[in-house]
Chain A
Amino acid sequence: MWRLWFIFCSICLVYLGIIIRLFSWQVVNGSSLRLQANLQHRANFLVPSERGSIVDRAGNPLVINQPAFLVYGKPEEIENRSEFAKKAAPFLSLDASLIEEQLSLPDRLWVPLVHKLEKTRVEELKALALPGIGFESEPKRYYAEASIAAHLLGFVGSDQNGVDTGYFGIEGYYDRELRGKDGRIEIEQDASGAPILFGSAERIEPENGRTLGLWVDRSIQFFVERRLFEGIESYGAKEGSVVVMDPATGGILAMASYPSYNPNTFSVFDKELYRNPVVAATYEPGSTFKALVMAAALNKQSVRTTTTIEESGPVSIGNYSIRTWNDEYGGRLTMGQVLERSSNVGMVYVGRALGKENLLSSIRDFGFGQVTGIDLEDEASPVLRPDSEWGEIDLATATFGQGIAVTPLQMVRAVGALANRGWLMKPMVVREIVENNGKKILLKSKRLKQVVSEKTAKLITEMLVSAVDNGEAKWAKPKGYRIAGKTGTAQIPVLGHYDDKKTIASFVGYAPADDPKFVMLVTLREPTSSPWGSETAAPLFFHIASDIFLYYGILPD
């Protein structure tokens, strides 16, 4: 009898032990064991999204992704770390001692050695058949035209978490659209790591970044950059920029600055070069501003095309004396001749006729003192002084573009209004966004306001055509074309005074005058061959204009 009881109690004890053990596994340690089990038989993969491409107006690629790899080492599989480091170092462009140091870090299963190594180098490394080396796909940005349009495009670097992020230009402004959204796969896997088909699987597809189609024409961008470089060399300038815009749509056809950098290798360049001078740097526009002041005065009917002035000598304002650029005075001048001769004295008269309130409101109407809203990351705008801080001399010098700071983009947009029947446009770089399913979203051009009437725009256009045909730069103009434009030579302010040896030479214009296909601004900082815009920026403008005429098939009259 006692044997039966003994067996019965033993069986009960065994059952109790099992229940306690089950309780321990399922209740006490349940969550941690479930997690462990999940890790063992469920695989989680991040499916990275592909960054979107950037193409020009005709669909030619400007920025795409190229195959590249993260190279990592597995210290436990490397027998001789010193030998491994010596063999791998030349291909990784790293010091062998640094590689060895990384591999010697304690408790590391894998060690990243180089990010985004190009495919050719990876193939060479693979050929070495080094044990303990691994490769993970990590695409890299590729700028197909090298340094061309660098300031416009920006570049992709890593943020503080090592995530690819766009900086400056379009890469920065449209980073979210280009980045896309990473996907995820969670599947049940067997002991060998192969997926179990009838097991549970969760798959979230990545959303690749969108493709951006620009207004930029890569051919125009190419010869703008070539001509700018040639101009910088010929005229001995320190810096220069060119911006070309379609006045009817606000679309940027080309934007170039020198010095520049190559976004493919941005890290080796000075960080100061990343900033786009066309949208972020300021300058005093000089005589190019006269076109806008004259247009405002004509629009307000403060002057007419038949109005004349007597240019007999300098104009005194307080302790200041305003002279013409060559200290020559032409006597009785029409408004057209004021522009042809680029007369500062004539412009002071126009400014006085316009009046302080109208002059300042016109400057604001043309978009100065505020950002244009262009879709580039680094745009800035100088602030206009409050109206109460404008003295008589400030108003006088503003009429010929000194004592007022603008960005090149603001200037070209304002003159673009004269080419567009008086309508100021919002400048745009991106023309369309292409979704992953191929659907195109067209970004519509935006008309902001009509700053001058259509009639005024026609009048000022004729005056600017005459300024080109009869002004100081007429020798460089391509024959047979009607080009409306204005030269500018602005002294650079240095420590509270103007340096008469250092200038910013510029030319702004649009063509063909009767049906403008482009408006363009050329600026050269401190040209040494000649300080004058008529002898440096103007010829450069006309060279580029000739290239554009040929490209568009625009025939001379």
Chain B
Amino acid sequence: MRRLIRIFSRFAPFIILALVIIELVVTNSFVSLSDHVSGVEKEIQRVERENDDLTQKIASASSLLAIEEKAKTMGFSKTSRYMTIHQDEFLVSLHQVRP
């Protein structure tokens, strides 16, 4: 027991010094990590804002008003005349009827 205490008391200062150095190193790396975290959070906010911006642009481009304008410039026009074809009506004649 006395031998153990003697050995411990010989090495204790070195152990304490090592722990102090480890704490200093870890604290220092945490501080630089916290800078990195701050940077990442800012980047997240930037990307979120960009996301919102793109969402708004998509919503605007896909709005019916925008589609209507685009259709007009592409030459589409409104028609009120249309035909409906029922399922039991043939689109084309399979056998040509000769007079």
Chain A residues engaging chain B, CB cutoff 8 angstroms: 60-61, 64-67, 119, 137, 139, 142, 144-146, 148, 190, 193-198, 218-219, 222, 546, 550, 555-556
Q: Of all chain A residues, which has the CB nearest B58?
A: A61
Measured CA separation A139–B65 after assembly (Å): 23
Given the interface contacts A67-B52, A67-B53, A139-B52, does A555 sit within 8 Å of B64 by beta carbon? no
Residue contact B52 to A65, C-beta cutoff 8 Å: yes
Q: Of all chain B residues, which has the CB nearest A557?
A: B86
| B8 touches A (CB below 8 Å) | no
Residue contact B65 to A198, C-beta cutoff 8 Å: no
Residue contact B34 to A222, C-beta cutoff 8 Å: no
Residue contact B84 to A555, C-beta cutoff 8 Å: yes
Size class of the B contact interface (CB-based, 8 Å): 20 to 34
B65 CB to nearest A CB, Å: 6
Measured CA separation A30–B52 after assembly (Å): 46
Residue contact B34 to A67, C-beta cutoff 8 Å: no
Per-position contact with A for B3-32: 1 when CB-CB < 8 Å, else 0? 000000000000000000000000100110
Using Cβ atoms and an 8 Å threshold, which residues of chain A touch B80?
546
Given the interface contacts A190-B31, A196-B30, A196-B34, does A148 sit within 8 Å of B53 by beta carbon? no
Measured CA separation A60–B59 after assembly (Å): 8
Given the interface contacts A195-B38, A197-B34, does A64 sit within 8 Å of B56 by beta carbon? yes
| B37 touches A (CB below 8 Å) | yes
Using Cβ atoms and an 8 Å threshold, which residues of chain A touch B56?
64-67, 142
List 8 contacting pairs A-B, 8 Å CB cutoff, sorted by A: A64-B56, A65-B52, A67-B52, A142-B56, A145-B64, A194-B37, A222-B64, A555-B84
Residue contact A67 to B49, C-beta cutoff 8 Å: yes
Given contacts A66-B56, A144-B60, A198-B30, 4 further A-B contacts (CB under 8 A): A144-B62, A194-B37, A194-B38, A197-B33
Measured CA separation A533–B43 after assembly (Å): 61
Using Cβ atoms and an 8 Å threshold, which residues of chain B touch A139?
52
Measured CA separation A222–B71 after assembly (Å): 15
Using Cβ atoms and an 8 Å threshold, which residues of chain A touch B37?
194-195, 197
Which 8 interchain pairs have the tightest Cβ spacing?
A66-B56, A144-B59, A61-B59, A222-B64, A197-B34, A197-B30, A144-B63, A194-B38
Given the interface contacts A190-B34, A555-B86, does A146 sit within 8 Å of B65 by beta carbon? yes
